[in-house]
Amino acid sequence: MLQLMLDTGVYIALTSMGMLSVPANVCSRVAGALLGFWLNGAITFRDVAGEGLKWRHLGRFFVSWSVMLALSTLAVGLVNENAGLRLSWFMKPVIDAFLAGVGFVVSRYWIYK
């Protein structure tokens, strides 16, 4: 939830200041990803044996995150282009909440495995 709130807040702040929705979405997803990778690795999916985060986790995270970034940016960009900025502010957390659900499954069974 924290990750989604940060991502959405950064997106709204950047687009409010005039940044286009596509680069604003990329920037906001980076901010959310940095927080999310650390929190998920340190708390949510921490290895029972205490192994901690490894480079393989980061590599898998980057692959998954890149796909989610492309899907989110495409969806948010299409909403902004067809329905306007204000609706994209509303739809961004909806889109990203759906992708977060997919990302949780991917994280659980592949990234932090």
Residue of 86 and 2 predicted with greater confidence: 86
Amino acid at 33: A
Give the end-to-end CA distance of the chain in Å, rounded to a whole number: 22
Residue carrying the six token digits 């991917």: 106
DSSP 45-63: T--TT-----HHHHHHHHH
Q: What is the pTM (predicted TM-score) of this model?
A: 0.84
For the stretch 32-76, pLDDT in tens is 998 988 887 777 776 644 567 788 888 998 999 999 999 999 999
Where are the extended beta strands (E) located within the chain? none
Tokens of 33: 């990803």
- Integer Cα distance of 50 and 102 in angstroms: 26
- Integer Cα distance of 34 and 70 in angstroms: 17
Count Cβ atoms below 10 Å from residue 53 Cβ, excluding itself. 17
Note the pLDDT of residue 106: 92
Note the pLDDT of residue 47: 65
Q: In which domain, by residue range, is 54 found?
A: 2-111
Note the pLDDT of residue 30: 96
Tokens of 109: 């069974």
Note the pLDDT of residue 66: 96
Note the pLDDT of residue 108: 85
pLDDT category of residue 22 using cuts at 50, 70 and 90: very high
Amino acid at 106: V
For the stretch 84-104, pLDDT in tens is 999 999 999 999 999 999 998
Tokens of 12: 């709204």
The number of domains in the chain is 1
